[in-house]
Structure 1
Amino acid sequence: MGKKYLSPWIMIGNTPPGTCPECAEIHDPEQPHNKASLVYQYKFYNKHGRFPTWADAMAHCSDETKNQWVEALKEYGIIVNLN
Structure 2
Amino acid sequence: MSKVKIEDPKMVLLNTVPEGACPICAVKHEPDQPHNRDSLFYQYKFYLENGRWPTWEDAMSHCPDQVKQLWIRGLQAYGVKVGDIADSDKDKA
- The answer, yes or no, to whether TM exceeds 0.5 is yes
Relative contact order, CA 8 A, sep 6+: which one is greater? 1
Please give the TM-score of this superposition, normalised by the length of structure 1.
Answer: 0.85
Identity of aligned residues (%): 48
Whether contact under 8 Å (1:70, 1:80) holds in the other structure is yes
Unpaired segments ≥5 residues, structure 1: none
TM-score norm. by structure 2 comes to 0.76
Q: Any gaps of 5 or more consecutive residues in structure 2?
A: 1-7, 85-93
Aligned length: 77
String of CA shifts for 1:26-46, please: whole Å, max 9, x gaps: 100100000000000000001
4+ runs deviating over 3 angstroms = none
Aligned CA-pair RMSD: 1.6
Q: 1:32 aligns with which of 31, 34, 39?
A: 34
Larger radius of gyration: 2
